[in-house]
Chains A and B, each alone.
Chain A
């Protein structure tokens, strides 16, 4: 019974966490947006905004295409590897770029491309990387360097579970491409769309890489400027909402398009695969080694760039490290704490959306409301999320005394949950769908119903998937900037390290910044190492 009680408490904590984070954001957005655009605001975007919209779309489309190009060879090798050390190593290398702070990718490319000498700079100059007007192209490449693990992971799972067998049989009488298009592709189409949608959405909405790469004519940078205008308006959140509706609509449409693919991924994290029919795509020792070399280069290039940067530094690495730790150490500790609590709350949020048909009506309604709230809030721009939380929490807490807004990082955690809890929540729902019906029926026959059944039967099946998703959520939270600057607490011992790192990257003080950027890779490495280790264990039968 202790397990049932613990589950109940975790679920209630999840509801409260979602209500005080995504719930607050959604309510504030609803209240301020319902009256419509502000009197001097046009609902129809100006030609300039349409032009930014178009630039954003082609930049994101290019990023998606490049991401798929990088992902495809690695996906094939990954899909063909049997569970074991080789597969885990490749998996870690694939996960790492995705959980690395996006600014770090941008900063590494920036350092590389603006070096005074060296092969890389010469090569990039030769291919026209630094040509005026090439910034959206540069941005697309960097976005792809960050996002390619999404198609690699999604498609390798889809290929193992849906397309591999058909492909291998088709290869008996057709070439590789024909076999893929004719037999594997139809089975994987939904997953392909889901991976492309996710990559495209993240490329469209990222507000860290384009500004660092010097792109000014995109939607996310325009939102930064719009936030400045909004701050002087009566309904700032309403202003931002009506300013951003075309992009929100697009994101919602893409998210809907991804749903069938996401549903088919309910076997995510399992080691199940299509039956072995004695055929192989390749992917032996040679291709594994080649894939690993490629993955190492793509995953660890920021570290390599930072390491070589110190050879020409003004100060030595030790001094840079001391300065960086002295100035930013407390922010690192605060960010780490916030990330851990965000991960834990996201886990609780995941449990809070688990639905069981014989739960009490109130419980079922709360689960559904929590799920929808998290989904909707995740597509809102960080400026809306931060403003909604800052204004609400500031209003309810007295600055003259200890209070939740100034003295604790809750508003900041709430911002992180509003943006990223969706990862854990969606994974939980998907994992929940793969609990065998026969087992649930058996549990019901033995008297376990509703919450007890969820705690005793569902949870042992899904907790590893939830934990992996929570680790990823926590890791992503360490690199958030847009909402963090609006919600980090004034009386906590530290603020957001990502905000500090971002500021230094723009300022160009390279030695300490380079060290800080290297530090920011640590949570990414931890997440990349721990997630596959946790996921590889088999679920109890």
Chain B
């Protein structure tokens, strides 16, 4: 009797669970027809108003998932990979570009050449259409002008190895986020021997690692270190908070380069259409909106102050990517595995 009851109970629960997992044969409800799913590693405070506006205008419901800051884009990249067999996201919106290019190489992003991207310079578009970039953030050095003079700071990234800066600076952990891409760009420009020497010299110079770019700004503003390598938006947020902090734009020159200035690294946000996403058409509409002039302007006007990639928009908004270098992002993304390896073996080992 007991076993019969048990069997009945088990069968009931199993049936209920299977109904939960079933692939419905009924026509999809309005929410499924007219909705889009986005995975987003742009800060929620900047991204959510933009996504809300898209929803208000189009009537398409936007479902979004944001990443944690500790792992930067790691959590959502893992999720996209885990769901590769049956994707749920339609659009990927990242706060940087190198991870996006890697996702494209793994076949997770679909080609889509948006008509809205026609005025975006080629450097910020994948020729095959797997990704489009908008809204730049610069890689800068943050310092407290009350304690440190600008002329005392390194003018080039390779100057960080100068013994006079020993123990005086921090960079964010180069295994994550924009710092990871930054190191890959340096590797693509300097080559492996110079990069290995750079890491060894950084270690000799007591380079401290910070858990994220915001921390690399916080410590100089509190007098706990002299300067830190970070992103422009982190400095702008700290300034808005009332902290005494300024930034300079170091050049990408290789060690031993002459007086030539190669310019500052600016890293864009990136947008991609997920291959095999459930709502491709709605995904394309959202993609078009996210790379539009309007969103670029909104990002510039936000506390993040991302500089538009469109030259005309820059002019209109009087935005300037100070000392901007010409960077081949795809080439740097190709270097990421080697760059990660060198970071582990030469800087962290």
Q: Could you tell me which A residues sit within 8 Å of B by CB distance? A: 5, 8-9, 12-13, 15-16, 20, 46-48, 114-116, 130, 132-133, 207-208, 210-217, 221, 224-225, 227-232, 236, 314, 327, 360, 362-363, 383, 386-387, 390-391, 394-406, 408, 410, 450-451, 481-482, 485-486, 488, 490-491, 495, 499-500, 502-510, 512
A327 pairs with B48, CB closer than 8 A: yes
A507 pairs with B88, CB closer than 8 A: no
B220-263 interface (Cβ within 8 A of A): 222, 224-225, 234, 237-238, 240-242
Assembled-state Cα–Cα distance A297/B218 (Å): 26
Within the complex, the shortest CB–CB distance from B23 to chain A, in Å, comes to 4
Assembled-state Cα–Cα distance A360/B13 (Å): 20
**Closest partner residue, chain B, to A486 (CB atom):** B79
Give 8 CB contacts A-B under 8 Å: A231-B78, A391-B83, A398-B24, A406-B37, A451-B2, A481-B68, A491-B63, A503-B67
User: With a CB–CB cut-off of 8 A, which chain A residues contact B242?
Assistant: 314
B74 pairs with A503, CB closer than 8 A: no
Known: A48-B348, A401-B28, A506-B214. A231 touches B81 (CB 8 A): yes
B85 pairs with A394, CB closer than 8 A: yes
Within the complex, the shortest CB–CB distance from B3 to chain A, in Å, comes to 6
Assembled-state Cα–Cα distance A130/B86 (Å): 47
Assembled-state Cα–Cα distance A132/B224 (Å): 8
The tally of CB-CB contacts under 8 A between chains A and B is: 228
User: With a CB–CB cut-off of 8 A, which chain A residues contact B20?
Assistant: 403-404, 408, 410
Within the complex, the shortest CB–CB distance from A122 to chain B, in Å, comes to 12
A495 pairs with B5, CB closer than 8 A: no
Judged by a CB distance under 8 angstroms, whether B70 is at the interface is yes
B224 pairs with A130, CB closer than 8 A: yes
A486 pairs with B82, CB closer than 8 A: yes
User: With a CB–CB cut-off of 8 A, which chain B residues contact A12?
Assistant: 6, 9-10, 13
User: With a CB–CB cut-off of 8 A, which chain B residues contact A504?
Assistant: 44-45, 69
A207 pairs with B82, CB closer than 8 A: no
Assembled-state Cα–Cα distance A401/B33 (Å): 9
Judged by a CB distance under 8 angstroms, whether B71 is at the interface is yes
Within the complex, the shortest CB–CB distance from B180 to chain A, in Å, comes to 9
Chain B 204-229 per-residue mask, 1 if CB under 8 angstroms from chain A, else 0:
00101111101101110010110000
Assembled-state Cα–Cα distance A492/B217 (Å): 36
Judged by a CB distance under 8 angstroms, whether B102 is at the interface is yes
A232 pairs with B106, CB closer than 8 A: yes
B211 pairs with A508, CB closer than 8 A: no
User: With a CB–CB cut-off of 8 A, which chain A residues contact B119?
Assistant: none
User: With a CB–CB cut-off of 8 A, which chain A residues contact B167?
Assistant: 132
Which A-B residue pairs are the 5 nearest by beta carbons? A506-B69, A485-B75, A231-B81, A399-B278, A391-B82
User: With a CB–CB cut-off of 8 A, which chain B residues contact A16?
Assistant: 13-14, 17
Chain B 188-200 per-residue mask, 1 if CB under 8 angstroms from chain A, else 0:
0000000000000
Judged by a CB distance under 8 angstroms, whether B309 is at the interface is no
Known: A224-B176, A401-B32. A486 touches B208 (CB 8 A): no
Within the complex, the shortest CB–CB distance from B195 to chain A, in Å, comes to 17
Within the complex, the shortest CB–CB distance from A503 to chain B, in Å, comes to 4
Known: A114-B224, A130-B224. A397 touches B9 (CB 8 A): no
Known: A395-B86, A503-B68. A485 touches B79 (CB 8 A): yes
Judged by a CB distance under 8 angstroms, whether B271 is at the interface is no
A225 pairs with B78, CB closer than 8 A: no
User: With a CB–CB cut-off of 8 A, which chain A residues contact B175?
Assistant: 216, 225, 228
**Closest partner residue, chain B, to A508 (CB atom):** B214
B349 pairs with A506, CB closer than 8 A: no
A486 pairs with B78, CB closer than 8 A: yes
Within the complex, the shortest CB–CB distance from B267 to chain A, in Å, comes to 17
B211 pairs with A211, CB closer than 8 A: yes
B29 pairs with A394, CB closer than 8 A: no
* Set B70, B102, B206: member contacting A232, Cβ < 8 A: B102
Assembled-state Cα–Cα distance A121/B211 (Å): 20
A132 pairs with B10, CB closer than 8 A: no
Known: A229-B340, A486-B75. A503 touches B69 (CB 8 A): yes
Assembled-state Cα–Cα distance A410/B23 (Å): 16
* Set B45, B82, B219, B238: member contacting A390, Cβ < 8 A: B82
A502 pairs with B215, CB closer than 8 A: no
Chain B 1-31 per-residue mask, 1 if CB under 8 angstroms from chain A, else 0:
0110110011001100100110110101101
User: With a CB–CB cut-off of 8 A, which chain B residues contact A397?
Assistant: 21, 23, 86
Known contacts A130-B219, A314-B241; 11 further A-B pairs (Cβ under 8 A): A12-B6, A12-B10, A211-B211, A211-B212, A214-B215, A231-B82, A232-B81, A360-B3, A386-B79, A400-B278, A485-B68
Known: A495-B65, A506-B211. A406 touches B88 (CB 8 A): yes
Judged by a CB distance under 8 angstroms, whether B126 is at the interface is no
Judged by a CB distance under 8 angstroms, whether B89 is at the interface is yes
Judged by a CB distance under 8 angstroms, whether B77 is at the interface is yes
A503 pairs with B66, CB closer than 8 A: yes
A490 pairs with B37, CB closer than 8 A: yes
Assembled-state Cα–Cα distance A38/B43 (Å): 35
B17 pairs with A230, CB closer than 8 A: no
Chain B 317-349 per-residue mask, 1 if CB under 8 angstroms from chain A, else 0:
000000000000000000000001000110011
Assembled-state Cα–Cα distance A486/B70 (Å): 14
Within the complex, the shortest CB–CB distance from A397 to chain B, in Å, comes to 6
A402 pairs with B17, CB closer than 8 A: no
Known: A211-B211, A486-B79. A363 touches B66 (CB 8 A): no
Assembled-state Cα–Cα distance A20/B44 (Å): 31
Assembled-state Cα–Cα distance A214/B70 (Å): 10
Judged by a CB distance under 8 angstroms, whether B111 is at the interface is no
Within the complex, the shortest CB–CB distance from B295 to chain A, in Å, comes to 19
B29 pairs with A402, CB closer than 8 A: yes
Known: A394-B88, A481-B68. A8 touches B83 (CB 8 A): no
User: With a CB–CB cut-off of 8 A, which chain A residues contact B159?
Assistant: none
Assembled-state Cα–Cα distance A391/B78 (Å): 10
B83 pairs with A214, CB closer than 8 A: no
